[in-house]
Amino acid sequence: MISLPSNWKIDEESFKDESWYWPVRLLKFFASLPHKHNTWLGFGHTVPNGDPPEPYASNTELCGSIVLPSVSVPEGFHKLSISAEKEIFFYAVVPLYADEMNLKLRKGTNELLSLFDKKKLNDIVNIKRVDLTKKRFGFL
């Protein structure tokens, strides 16, 4: 799943513009990965948008994603028990900046998640959010 802000345009006309459509394209891409590459996706997996990673659209520098449990949905939404032997887990696709993906690869998922916690970020797409790896200096 991908969580979009309430003002995200999801009508047919808006989807003609990649600035609004890219989250849908991203979900389709993630859904195809296990089938095309005979693999699976789970907690902490990162996927760049190309090699080298390119922004998803012209209005953002987000260029990769990580798979995480959503923090913006109720707890009971994370897992669906089909039977005693079968459960389906629902994960969020969370867009990242290139340096955030590199940090995750170098230091691990927990290091990146600690930065998310520090900045109180969630999984709702924000195309202009701060890159968590950048130090911000300035005056208030």
110-118: average pLDDT: 95
Which has more pLDDT, 25 or 136? 25
Q: Is the pLDDT of residue 137 over 50?
A: no
Q: Give the confidence band of 136 by pLDDT, cuts at 50, 70, 90.
A: low
Q: What is the predicted pLDDT for the residue at 38?
A: 94
Q: Is the pLDDT of residue 139 over 90?
A: no
Q: What is the predicted pLDDT for the residue at 92?
A: 95
Chain-wide mean pLDDT for the chain? 93
Q: What is the predicted pLDDT for the residue at 116?
A: 94
C-alpha span between 34 and 57 (Å, rounded):
24
pTM: 0.89
pLDDT, tens only, 5-50: 999 999 999 999 999 999 999 999 999 999 999 999 999 999 999 9
Phi-psi region of 90 (alpha: psi -120 to 50; beta: other; left: phi over 0): beta
Output the CA–CA distances (angstroms, integers) from residue 40 to 30, 32, 85, 90, in the order listed: 10, 10, 18, 13
Q: What is the predicted pLDDT for the residue at 140?
A: 39
Cβ-based burial of 92 (10 A; exposed 0-12, middle 13-18, buried ≥19): buried
